[in-house]
Amino acid sequence: MEIDPALFDQTETTVSDVQNPPWAGGPTPGVLPKPTAGKPGNPRWYKGMPTSPNPAGRPKGQTQQTKLMQRMLDGADQIVEAVMEKAREGDSASANIVLGRILPALRSQSEKVRFDLDTAAPIARQVEQVLAAIADASIAPDVGKQVIEALAALSSVRATDELEERLAALEERHL
C-alpha cells in the first residue's frame, strides 16, 4: 500500500481553503426562518425554504390515499345495503356485522353490595371478611375481587402514610 506524499505536505491550510462537498450543503448563513406564529411543528421550518427536501411543498389536489378512500365511500351505500339484505335472508355473519355496528358491546357492571366489613380491623382480617361474604354468596366473586384489590390499594396508602410520619419524627429528633 502506497501513501500519498501530499498528505504530509507541511503547508498550512485555512478554513476558507477547504471546500465542502456538494452533499454537505447546509443552510445558508444569514438566512433566518420566517416566524411561524404559534403553528405546531418545527418553528425553524417554513414553506419553500431552500434546504427543504421538497421546496415546492405538497402538490395541490388529492393524494392517492384520499382518492382511494373517496372511491370506497362512493360504493359504501351499495355495500351496506347488500350486507343488510343478506342479514334479512338469515346470513348469521352479516347479521353479526350489522348488529355489531348498531348495538354497543355489553360490559359487565358491578352491582352495589352490602355486607359486614369491620373497617377498623387489620387489612388481613378485612380480606377474610370479604372472602367469607363470597363464600356465603352475599357478593359475587368478581365484586369480591374488586373489593380485595381496593383494600390492597388502601393498605399501600396507609403504609406510605405511616412511613412518612415515622420519617418526620426521626428528622425532628435529629434536628
Q: Would you put residue 29 in left (φ > 0), alpha (ψ -120 to 50) or beta?
A: beta
Q: Give residue 88's pLDDT.
A: 93
Q: Which long-range contacts (CB under 8 A, 24 or more apart) does 129-133 make?
A: none
Nine-digit cell string for 25: 450543503
For the entire predicted model, the pTM comes to 0.39
The stretch 30-43 carries a mean pLDDT of 61
Q: Give residue 164's pLDDT.
A: 94
As a whole number, the mean pLDDT across the chain is 79
Q: How confident is the model at residue 29 (pLDDT cuts 50, 70, 90)?
A: low
Nine-digit cell string for 53: 427536501
Nine-digit cell string for 83: 350486507
Q: How confident is the model at residue 86 (pLDDT cuts 50, 70, 90)?
A: very high
The Cα–Cα gap between 52 and 44 comes to: 11
User: Residue 154, Cβ neighbours under 10 Å: how many?
Assistant: 13
